[in-house]
């Protein structure tokens, strides 16, 4: 079963635009993470936000977390063609395996 549900399933934007992806989950969590995957192979960790945090930044990435709505968003600013990938949110309850959503496929057109 998958806890997270990303929205939209697919997103296509022009280079330079911002990309926003959303994630909703069902149960209480300890942490929420975002991962990126190229070409259906290994995932790369992008950012972790704890349940007591509301916003976090890393370079061109901005993540928000609203535990009352059980949702998170990932914003990529000034997108580049190299940002084209699938993006997944993953949640954990602390010392439990990550549970992933189905992902958002982002296409950035040069």
Partner 1 sequence: GAGVSQTPSNKVTEKGKYVELRCDPISGHTALYWYRQSLGQGPEFLIYFQGTGAADDSGLPNDRFFAVRPEGSVSTLKIQRTERGDSAVYLCASSLLGLVATFGSGTRLTVV
- Among 14-22, 43-51, 56-64, 68-76, which window interacts with partner 1 (CB under 8 A)? 43-51
Q: What binding mask, one character per residue, do residues 80-109 give for partner 1 by CB under 8 A, x or -? A: --------x---x--xxxxxxxxx------
CA–CA gap between residue 12 and residue 92 (Å, rounded):
29
CA–CA gap between residue 9 and residue 46 (Å, rounded):
19
Q: Tell me which residues in 46-75 interact with partner 1 (CB under 8 A).
A: 48
Count of Cβ atoms closer than 10 Å to residue 7 Cβ:
15
Angle at 48 between CA 7 and CA 73, to 5 degrees: 25
Which residues in this chain contact partner 1 in the complex, by CB under 8 A? 2, 4, 31, 33, 35, 40-45, 48, 88, 92, 95-103
């Amino acid at each position: 079963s998958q806890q997270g549900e990303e929205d939209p399933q697919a997103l296509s934007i022009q280079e330079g635009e911002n990309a926003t992806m959303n994630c909703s989950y069902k149960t209480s969590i300890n942490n929420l993470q975002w991962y990126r995957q190229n070409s259906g192979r290994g995932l790369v960790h992008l950012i972790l936000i704890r349940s007591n945090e509301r916003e976090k930044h890393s370079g061109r990435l901005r993540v928000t977390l609203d535990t009352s709505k059980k949702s998170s968003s990932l914003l990529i600013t000034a997108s580049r063609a190299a940002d084209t990938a699938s993006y997944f949110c993953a949640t954990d309850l602390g010392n439990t395996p990550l549970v992933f959503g189905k992902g958002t496929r982002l296409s950035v057109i040069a």
